[in-house]
Structures are given as structure tokens and as C-alpha cells.
């Protein structure tokens, strides 16, 4: 027999458990009711490779169709990777100082807590897919150089001898002419003034002069697309892919394949990625810093601004400062949190001033929020 007291105790316990189950179900429902969002730098808006969708549109469509968030994002960035008109990413990108295209990429899968990356990869148009293969099939996070190419070939990727297009070769020849006019001539007899030999970094100055002369976009000179997204169940992933700095020293690796620098994802907090001067980003591990700042409660915009301030404060070498004593380079961050809130921030509102976003209301571009006024070239 059961006493009245035992009956009441058992009943209240059962009701509490049922109530707890209802609360857990409600909490789960709330977690799964996030509105999908995809954000990227301007490359995710500008390029379509002859198709009807840009990167953020394709990624958003696939996410809402139920595809894994990372697979959707990579399918999105494959568009500019394969587009020869985008000279900062993948096929037809601006090569290194020797005229060879070397590509970097990384990806992070929030719910699986896994990542993969490649650096200095030659001959594969879609390094983002090779980075995902590193994540899926190996215990490693980063494979580089000849090893990355051999891995890609072993995994069945098509490895080409040369990813240059006639346009990327033409631009490389013009860069060579500007830094070494005594040996590299203009067949058209162009008398454009060469870069003075006393320049601190004639290679960099030659590249920047080509940006100023409208021969290449500022975004293509620094390269890179970062694309991050959140699915309806709250899963967060990210991918960054690039050809790196135009005319770089062969073997140079920037921030894009470095976890915590060019990309960082925490499925419980959010994601951040970057374009711009990679060395500044690596030194400050800025994407990791941004995600940790959001963990402390900062909004995506404020977290991004905190990283920009950190970079500004840590930039003290004279060669990296303009006439106003602020950084003579630009850098941008694209930030997304667990709620689906997002922001795009930059050191300056200069060069590329917009970023891309796609939501249930469609794809659009928004203005980047700058930390500093003016431009990197301010005297």
C-alpha cells in the first residue's frame, strides 16, 4: 500500500519531470528556430562565373534546402574560385613573384568541431574543397606545398600545370616591368614611369601603383573571400579561400589557412573571418579574438571593432604606418553570432567598402563600419 504522503511526492516528481521535458522541448525549439544567414566579403556578391547566383545566394539556397552548412558555403565560394574574372581567388588569380599561382584555404565545421586547411597549393582551382578533404579524411588541420598537391591528386582532384589565364599573365608581366624596366619591356612602348629603385619595397609599391592606375582591384590585390553561415538549427560554419597577396614571395602563407586568424568558428558562439593584410591578422589571431569577445557578450560589430583596435595598437613599425601614424593597410572582418546577428567592419572605409549578406529577404550589400576615418594612404 502507498501512503498519501508518498502518493503526493511521486505525483509532484512526475509533474516536475513532465514540466522539465516541456521546458527542454521549448528550449530546443527556440534553438532550432534561428533564421538562416550567410555573410561574406564583396566577392561573395560580385562574381557569378556566368551563372545566375553569386556565392551568398547559392550558399543560402542550399542551406534552406537542407544541405550541410559547410557544404553549402563551399559550394558558394566555388563560384568566385572558378571565375577567371576574380583575380584574387582560385583560377586566374594574381600569381606570386615567379608567376606561379599558389592558393590557400581553410574551413571549420561548428557542430563537428573539425577543421581543415591547405596552403601554397598549386594546380587545383578549388582549394576550399581540398581543405574540406583534409578535414574529412585526415587527422590533420593543415597540409602545405607539394604535400598539399600530392594529397589533392590522391583524393581525385584534377591537378593542372598552370592556373594562369592570359589576363593574370599580362598583369604579372606589367608588375615585372614596373620593378625591373631594364629587362622587362612594354611591347606597346608605354612610357609609364617605373618604380624608383630606392623604394623600401619596390615589389609592393609596384602592385599598389597598379591598383591606383585601375589595372587591378584593391580586393584582388589582397585576394580572399571569407564566407560564414548559420543554418535553421543553429549550426555555424565558415570557409576562407584565397590566392594571397599578389606577387608574394613564393611560399608565403597569409592568414587565410591559419585557424584563429583568417577564420574561426565556435558553434556555441559564432564565426569570424577576414580579408586584407594577412600578416597583421596572424599576429593578433583576430578571428579567434572576435569569437572570444562575442563569448564575453559583445555584439558582432563591437567584437570586430575590438580586433581592429588591437591591430592598430600593435602596429608600431614605421614602415607599416602612414603620415598620420595609423596603419598604412586595410583589413576587414565579417562576423556572425549564434543568434544570427552579423556585422562587417574595416580599418578604413576605403577600397572595398561593402560586404554581402543573404537572408530570407534575399541578397544585398551593406556598408562596412570603419574604425578610422580617411584611408591607408593618408599623408
Q: Identify the bridge partners of residue 115 per DSSP, sorted by sequence position.
A: 108
Nearest-CA neighbor of 220 among 310, 317, 85? 85
Distance CA 119, CA 281 (A): 16
Q: For 208, list phi and psi in degrees, rounded to 5.
A: -65, -35
Residue bearing cell 598549386: 122
350 is written with which cell numbers?
A: 576605403
C-alpha cell read off for 295: 563569448
Distance CA 49, CA 78 (A): 9
From first CA to last CA, the distance across the chain in angstroms is 91
| Residues with catalytic roles | 224
- Report helix, strand or coil for 212: helix
Q: Are 334 and 39 in contact, with CB atoms under 8 Å apart?
A: yes
Taking phi over 0 as left and psi of -120 to 50 as alpha, with beta for the rest, 227 belongs to beta
Amino acid at each position: 500500500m502507498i501512503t498519501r504522503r508518498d502518493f503526493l511526492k511521486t505525483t509532484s516528481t512526475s509533474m516536475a519531470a513532465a514540466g522539465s521535458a516541456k521546458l527542454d522541448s521549448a528550449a530546443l525549439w527556440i534553438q532550432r528556430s534561428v533564421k538562416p544567414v550567410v555573410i561574406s566579403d564583396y566577392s561573395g556578391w560580385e562574381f557569378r562565373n556566368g551563372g545566375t547566383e553569386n556565392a551568398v545566394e547559392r550558399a543560402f539556397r542550399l542551406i534552406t534546402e537542407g544541405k550541410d552548412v559547410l557544404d553549402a558555403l563551399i559550394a558558394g565560394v566555388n563560384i568566385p574560385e572558378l571565375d577567371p574574372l576574380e583575380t584574387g581567388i582560385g583560377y586566374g588569380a594574381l600569381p606570386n613573384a615567379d608567376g606561379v599561382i599558389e592558393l590557400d584555404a581553410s574551413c571549420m565545421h561548428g557542430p563537428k568541431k573539425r577543421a581543415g586547411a591547405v596552403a601554397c597549393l598549386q594546380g587545383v582551382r578549388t582549394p576550399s574543397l581540398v581543405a574540406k578533404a583534409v578535414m574529412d579524411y585526415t587527422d590533420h588541420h593543415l597540409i602545405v606545398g607539394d604535400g598539399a598537391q600530392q594529397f589533392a591528386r590522391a583524393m581525385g582532384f584534377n591537378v593542372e600545370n598552370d592556373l594562369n589565364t592570359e589576363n593574370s599573365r599580362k598583369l604579372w608581366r606589367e608588375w615585372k616591368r614596373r620593378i625591373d624596366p631594364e629587362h622587362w619591356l612594354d611591347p606597346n612602348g608605354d612610357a609609364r614611369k617605373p618604380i624608383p629603385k630606392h623604394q623600401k619595397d619596390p615589389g609592393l609599391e609596384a602592385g599598389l601603383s597598379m591598383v591606383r592606375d585601375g589595372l587591378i582591384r584593391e580586393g584582388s590585390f589582397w585576394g580572399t573571400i571569407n564566407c560564414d553561415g548559420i543554418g535553421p538549427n543553429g549550426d555555424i560554419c565558415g570557409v576562407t579561400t584565397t590566392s594571397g597577396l599578389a606577387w608574394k614571395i613564393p611560399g608565403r602563407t597569409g592568414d587565410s589557412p591559419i585557424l584563429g586568424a583568417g577564420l574561426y568558428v565556435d558553434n556555441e558562439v559564432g564565426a569570424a573571418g577576414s580579408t586584407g593584410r594577412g600578416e597583421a591578422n596572424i599576429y593578433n589571431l583576430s578571428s579567434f579574438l572576435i569569437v572570444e569577445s562575442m563569448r564575453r557578450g559583445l555584439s558582432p560589430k563591437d567584437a570586430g571593432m575590438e580586433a581592429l583596435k588591437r591591430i592598430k595598437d600593435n602596429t608600431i613599425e614605421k614602415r607599416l604606418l602612414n603620415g598620420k601614424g595609423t596603419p598604412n593597410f586595410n583589413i576587414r572582418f565579417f562576423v556572425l553570432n549564434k543568434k544570427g546577428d552579423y556585422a562587417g567592419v574595416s580599418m578604413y572605409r576605403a577600397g572595398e567598402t561593402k560586404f554581402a549578406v543573404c537572408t530570407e529577404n534575399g541578397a544585398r550589400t551593406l556598408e562596412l563600419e570603419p574604425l578610422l576615418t580617411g584611408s591607408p594612404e593618408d599623408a
